[in-house]
Chains A and B, each alone.
Chain A
Amino acid sequence: MRPAWLFCGAGVTVIGIYYLLPTGGQGQFVIYDTVGVTSAVAIAAGVRLNRPANPLPWLLFAVGNLLFAVADIIFNILVNPKVPSIADGFYLAGYPFLVAGLLLLLVHAGGHHRVPALGEALIVTIAFALFQWVFLMAPFARGEGTLAHRAVDVAYPGMDTLLIAGLAGFFVTAAWRTRAFSLLVASLVALLIADELYLGAYASGSWIDSLWLLSYVLWATAALHPSMRDLSEPRRVRSIRVSRWRLGLLVGALMTAPTVLLVQWIRGASLEVPAIFTAAVVISGVVMLRLTGILRALERLRVRERVARGEALAAQAELAERNIRLVEADQLKDEFVALISHDLRTPLTSIIGYIELALDPEGDSPLDEERQHYLEVVSRNSERLLHLVDDLLFVARVRSGQLVLNLEQLDLGELAAEAIQAARPDAENAGLSLSLEADQATLVEADRARLLTLLENLISNAIKFTPRGGRIDVRALPAAGGVLEVSDTGIGLAAGEAELVFDRFFRSRNAMERQISGTGLGLFIARSIVEAHGGSISAANREDGGTTFRITLPLRAKPQQTPGTAELVA
């Protein structure tokens, strides 16, 4: 960025110095010619510095500007030569290079909007050409002087028209927002204004020189600016925007011919009917084509949108249907689990019952100690199996919305004492101390049996996950209804598991690593029970290790009515 602005600043300073020197003097000539040559070289340096993807257009710019600079030198050596001079030849030779460079840039930068860009460039060019012809070129063409003199006079506005063509094409591409393009436009505008004014009255050292000099400097600044790379790279513009600017351009183009006609009529000048007629026809045709193009593009866009919307709707419908089927499959699975759970109970009745009979001390033939131990193992495991079957059945019931609460007024402290009483043998076996903290009555309306299951689940979990010698504390406190807390000094939760532990079949990483058995149902059941009461449950690691489960119950249970419950009542 820096070389560009340094060059620009230096250039403007030199232009200032130019006007401090005697008009038409040798000093001015030297400065003028130096600015021209330096700028041409700077453009080539910009290509080297910025390494654009496509350097050719910029090299063409360098050549065009160099030809101008050579023309300047010749013009100054000859000192205001008569038209046509050899200087004019060099000047006019420079323009095609600039136009070719602009067109090349445009073809690259336009992306897939190349055709609209060229179309709109054509409209602007013809409109401008009409002005040029009617107000500048025609009077000279029919004016006095030699044919060569008139041809050269007409050639300058003609070249300007070509420059406008290249410039206009750029305005409809995405490139026109870059700094390099702004500089390029400023440079060309300066050049155009100077060219238009030149045909009036000119002499060396005139203020018009500042415009040409500025054009040189700005062109080189554009080439040195890093954003010149963006002008050489294709840019994709997705949507076609019918901007106010674009519509204004089309309307303005359509107005050109009638405006010129009106102005000529007011001036009482020659109407130039053939030129105006031709321009009007061509502009109208191109504008119509552009409008058709825009309408077609919009229509294509609308069709694409309609198709996309149709596809989205179809996908949505399919998704909904698939979802229904998934829900059905899920329900089927839950029904299946319920059925299986029931069917498992019958053989379990025999297993558990006969073990009990076999272990009955009043039985016919007493067992030896070894066999008695075996049967006790079988007994313990069939109880475990039964527990699993119960859990699965409970989950299936919760999932089908059939969890019904038998509400009664109860004291959470008493309930906790009962649960602790039941869990004490297991805790003692595991070498854990189990304590209750319930200083005052905590009365809530809830389902006694379910809350007992809940507490048993939490306490048995705590026993499972707490190493020997640890402590389990159960607290009941009246706060916004009732709060139950079960804390342990166990292995704690792995990071990020505080929410997940309540999911169905979730197994904690710590539990898996330590190979602690479980189904991943206990805490899901706990949460289901709490939520059925309209309460909440959360888990958190304690600062000194271990986990605290905290349950908050409302004063009165607010059971959520689920669809399944209604069916059951009916």
Chain B
Amino acid sequence: MSGTLVLVAEDDEDILLLVATRLERDGFEVLQARDGNEAFALAHKRHPAVAVIDVGMPGLDGFEVTARMRADESLRNTLIVLLTARAQEADVRRGLDAGADMYLRKPFSPAKLSTSLKELLKRHSSGGGA
């Protein structure tokens, strides 16, 4: 897991720092983006293993970033985790339809997010190999 590249896109500075700190403590390498456009540009440039994207961002929102990333062939292997304060059935469905691999509702435990990422990566690498 050490050195695995994770993109965190979140317009709330505190939450961005919170997630980045937790993930860095757990050995991830973290890329930070503060809006949707920056997030997509960074993802396109650096090809992270996982992108943790907030749904409610100015500019491109999380659903749109997800859709663009899924349309980008070079980001085929990037796992996408959506963060949102809105957690109605319709939002979840919309996120998963856009191509997200996981949907996390705010407020969340940063430790649990970290654990979930690790599990997701593990499943993906074993599943992807088969």
Q: Which residues of A contact B (CB under 8 A)?
A: 342-343, 345-346, 348-354, 356-357, 360, 362-363, 386, 397, 402, 404, 568
Contacts and interface: CB of A to CB of B under 8 A. Distances in A.
Given A348-B106, A356-B109, A568-B90, 17 more contacts: A345-B106, A345-B107, A346-B15, A346-B106, A349-B85, A350-B12, A350-B107, A352-B109, A353-B19, A353-B109, A353-B110, A354-B14, A357-B21, A386-B107, A402-B88, A404-B89, A568-B89
Main secondary structure of the interface of B (DSSP, over half): helix
Contacts of A356: 109-111
Contacts of A404: 89
Nearest to A351: B107
Contacts of B22: 353, 357
Interface residues of B, number: 20
Contacts of A362: 25
Closest 5 CB pairs of A and B: A349-B107, A345-B85, A350-B14, A349-B106, A348-B107
A112 to B, nearest CB: 68
B58 to A, nearest CB: 14
B71 interface: no
Nearest to B111: A356
Interface string B86-125: 1011100000000000000111111100000000000000
B18 interface: yes
Contacts of B107: 345, 348-353, 386
Interface in B1-27: 12, 14-15, 18-19, 21-22, 25
Nearest to B112: A356
B64 to A, nearest CB: 19
B67 to A, nearest CB: 21
Contacts of B109: 352-353, 356
Contact of B111 (A343, A348, A351, A360): A360
Contacts of A352: 107, 109
A418 B25 CA distance: 33
Contact of B18 (A353, A397, A402, A568): A353
A402 B105 CA distance: 18
B51 to A, nearest CB: 18
Contacts of B85: 342-343, 345-346, 349
A566 to B, nearest CB: 13
A201 B22 CA distance: 132
22 contacts: A342-B85, A343-B85, A345-B85, A346-B85, A349-B12, A350-B12, A351-B107, A352-B107, A352-B109, A353-B19, A353-B108, A353-B109, A354-B18, A356-B109, A356-B110, A356-B111, A362-B25, A363-B25, A386-B107, A402-B88, A568-B89, A568-B90
A518 to B, nearest CB: 22
Contact of B108 (A342, A349, A351): A349
A360 B90 CA distance: 35
A346 B18 contact: no
A386 to B, nearest CB: 6
Task: Select the residue from A343, A357, A363 with max chain B CB neighbours within 10 A.
Answer: A357
Interface of B: 12, 14-15, 18-19, 21-22, 25, 85-86, 88-90, 105-111
A80 B109 CA distance: 126
Contacts of B90: 568
A356 B113 CA distance: 12
A43 to B, nearest CB: 90
Contacts of B105: 345
Nearest to B54: A346
B95 to A, nearest CB: 15
B18 A357 contact: yes
A47 to B, nearest CB: 86
Task: Select the residue from A342, A349, A352, A568 with max chain B CB neighbours within 10 A.
Answer: A349
Contacts of B15: 346, 349-350, 353
Contacts of A345: 85, 105-107
B9 to A, nearest CB: 15
A362 B27 CA distance: 13
A536 B90 CA distance: 27
Contact of A360 (B12, B25, B89): B25
Contacts of A346: 12, 15, 85, 106
A342 B54 CA distance: 14
Task: Select the residue from A350, A397, A404 with max chain B CB neighbours within 10 A.
Answer: A350
Nearest to B11: A346
A449 B10 CA distance: 29
A357 B111 CA distance: 8
Contacts of A349: 12, 15, 18, 85, 106-108
Contacts of A342: 85-86
A348 B85 CA distance: 10
B15 to A, nearest CB: 5
Nearest to B25: A362
A342 B18 CA distance: 19
Nearest to B22: A357
Given A349-B15, A353-B18, A354-B18, A397 B110 contact: no
A568 B88 CA distance: 10
Contacts of A343: 85
Contacts of B21: 357
A346 B11 CA distance: 11
A162 B80 CA distance: 111
Nearest to A348: B107
A345 B12 CA distance: 12
Contacts of B111: 356, 360
B17 to A, nearest CB: 9
A322 B21 CA distance: 54
A352 to B, nearest CB: 5
Contacts of A350: 12, 14-15, 18, 107
Contacts of A397: 88
Nearest to B110: A353
Nearest to B109: A356
B5 to A, nearest CB: 22
Contacts of A353: 15, 18-19, 22, 107-110
A466 B15 CA distance: 40
Contacts of B89: 404, 568
A348 B106 CA distance: 8
Contacts of A354: 14, 18
